[in-house]
Amino acid sequence: MSTELGRRAPRLALKDVVLMVTLGVVFGFLYWVFVQAWNGLAVLMGPAGDLAQHVLLGAWLLAAPVAVAVIRRPLVGVIAEVIAAVVEVFFLGSPVGPLLLVAAALQGIGSELPFALGRYRHFGWARYAASGAAGAALVFVFTAFRDAWWGTDLLTVRLLVQVASGVVLGGLLAKVLVDALARTGAVDGFAIGRAQGVIPGRYERRVR
Amino acid sequence: MTDTQPTGTQPTGTLLERRNPTVKVALLCAVSLTTLFLFDLSVLAWLWGLGVVGALATTRLGARRLVLAHAPFVAFGVGLVAVNAVTRPGPALVTVLGMDVTRAGLAVGAALALRALLIGVVTVAFLASTPPRELMVSLTRHARLSPRYAYALLAAHRMLTAMPRRWATIRAAQAVRGSGPALPEAGRAVVTLLVGAIRGAERTALALESRGLGSGPRSVWHVVPLTWADGVFAVVVTGVAGAVLAFA
């Protein structure tokens, strides 16, 4: 019994849990704002609006890579994405409903996978790009089933546009965002700060 | 943000306000899951109609607020109809701007739009009758959600309610300084919003830890009950939905 307990990975510190939940909530809010813009775009552009919306899809993948990069622990990205979906569905209201939680879990799994393969130690541009691509590709399969896209004319185009959006908005933009957060010093007290050798609380003049 | 948050609960509230939040979450999930396999327009229309009647009868939402709350779901539905009408194979009903509108496309688009409306009306009724605090207390007691996550989510929810105001303040500050191109400025505003939230999260974690969260079993002051009436409610809702699926 004691050996089993000893082998179990230590649970997340409360500080990490609260940060993960907070990132989920902030991104849930930003996703919800995006959905309103997304709906407006669909109405304004008519049939072309749907493809235009796919261009923005990658923005829905941001929570996972940001949470993983800052906290650097397994499943943090998946949980952050699911919490963002919980906020959208149960606090703000989403037309997709609770099935959004399934989509969010798939997004999180896809986005976290490349970082997990690197044992949460490698955070280069290529890793972020792979994260965005995997997140977009995995959720595409689910959305194609939910919205009955199989057999339609635009299936391949939708896949390519969504993966490209995932790479740019859900991957590379996440790297830009994480670097920007690191420069502010706000995340020095978390794993990302420790990995960079920052001593939390110590004043350092930051040169832009 | 949909203005449907209830002002309080709850033993004396409306029928839906008195129901257990975990039961309501389960029913919301069941409705959402069932619609995944529904493309019959009459069934979806019946379910949506019943949802509207149910929302009006069991919450404090008036007709006006319910119509307004439908706006984002209607916009979502219009987009679905527009794209599906011209991207589904089949004989053309009419050609618009060089694109063939097919009967199958219109039917699938309308079904997906009705599905969004149905989920929308159920979600709006849920939001209008379920305060976040009751939801979290109920989920910890009746769905075994970890209090560490539940209380963190509640604290973050407080941040959420202040977020539109924070966003407006940041954008106003940018405007005062003389804003540059819209997109980079919005990006900077997102970083500012995130930095504020992360610093707030550190303070929240300290406050929760100092109150002993996660140190052992917890008790709650206002218990959210789970009663036989919740069971009857669940049976009635699933029964009515089942009857529509069987006979409509």
ipTM comes to: 0.82
CB contacts under 8 A, A 15-54 vs B, are 15, 17-19, 21-26, 28-30, 32, 35-36, 39-40, 42-43, 46-47, 49-51, 53
Rounded to whole angstroms, how far apart are CA atoms B17 and A142? 33
User: For residue B84, what is the nearest residue in chain A, using CA coordinates?
Assistant: A47
Check residues A146 and A41 and name the one with the higher pLDDT: A146
Average pLDDT over residues B140-164: 86
Distances (CA, A) of B133 to B148, B205, B210, B222: 14, 18, 20, 10
Give the model's confidence band at B7: pLDDT under 50 very low, under 70 low, under 90 confident, else very high: very low
Determine the pLDDT at residue A148.
77
Residue A161 scores a pLDDT above 80: yes
Residue range B189-236, pLDDT digits in tens: 889 999 999 999 999 889 888 887 767 777 777 888 999 999 999 999
Phi-psi region of A177 (alpha: psi -120 to 50; beta: other; left: phi over 0): alpha
Residues 6+ apart with CB under 8 A from B26: B234
Residues of B in contact with A15 (CB under 8 A): 201-202, 205-206, 209
CB contacts under 8 A, B 64-123 vs A, are 69, 72-73, 75-80, 82-83, 85-89, 99, 108, 112, 116, 119-120, 122-123
B3 Cβ under 8 Å from any chain A Cβ: no
Q: How many residues does chain B have?
A: 248
Locate the domains of chain A by residue range. Answer: 14-184
Considering the entire predicted model, what is its pTM?
0.82
Locate the domains of chain B by residue range. Answer: 21-130+225-247, 145-210
